Copies of this chain bind each other. A is one copy, B any other.
Amino acid sequence: MAGVEEFLWPVRVYYEDTDGGGVVYHANYLKFMERARTEWLRSLGFEQTELRTRDGILFVVHDMQIQFRKPARFNDELVVKSRLLKVGRSLLQFEQVILHGDVCMTEAVVDVVCIDAERFRPVSMPAAIKQAISSSLPKIQPIT
């Protein structure tokens, strides 16, 4: 956590991530972003395995606007910088930027929705998660 508002997660580019163009395959940036969101949630004290078995919920990506600005390459050490833009009843909206040094390689706005793990329908996210978010991110106003 670089500050109260940003969460940083490092990603090394391996061969598995690249394609025949010699650069990171575009869909794989979405994996990097998801790793960072998983680790952000873990940093707040929440394991998705427990959220699923105990609370019956999943967090899933519902909507994404993504710009692929520069190509990252094999062996690059990237950093995913994540920041919450909005918190709703079942919504977490993130801005996520993938950096190589100071250079932005890819950036996205990602809407993640809390759903019922059986019926795949939006549900309110657990109060404990909202509280943890409020504590860690004082400037984000939950929209309740």
* Chain B residues, Cβ within 8 Å of A73: 20, 49
Chain A interface mostly: mixed
When all copies of this chain in the complex are counted, the total is 4
* Chain B residues, Cβ within 8 Å of A123: none
Mark A residues whose CB is within 8 Å of B: 12, 14-16, 18-23, 25-28, 30-31, 34-35, 38, 47-49, 58, 60-68, 70-71, 73-75, 117, 120
Q: Which of B28, B65, B68, B120 contacts A60 (CB 8 A)?
A: B68
Extra A-B contacts (16), CB below 8 Å, given A15-B19, A64-B65: A12-B35, A14-B31, A15-B20, A15-B34, A16-B19, A20-B20, A20-B22, A21-B58, A27-B27, A27-B34, A30-B30, A48-B74, A60-B68, A60-B71, A64-B68, A66-B66
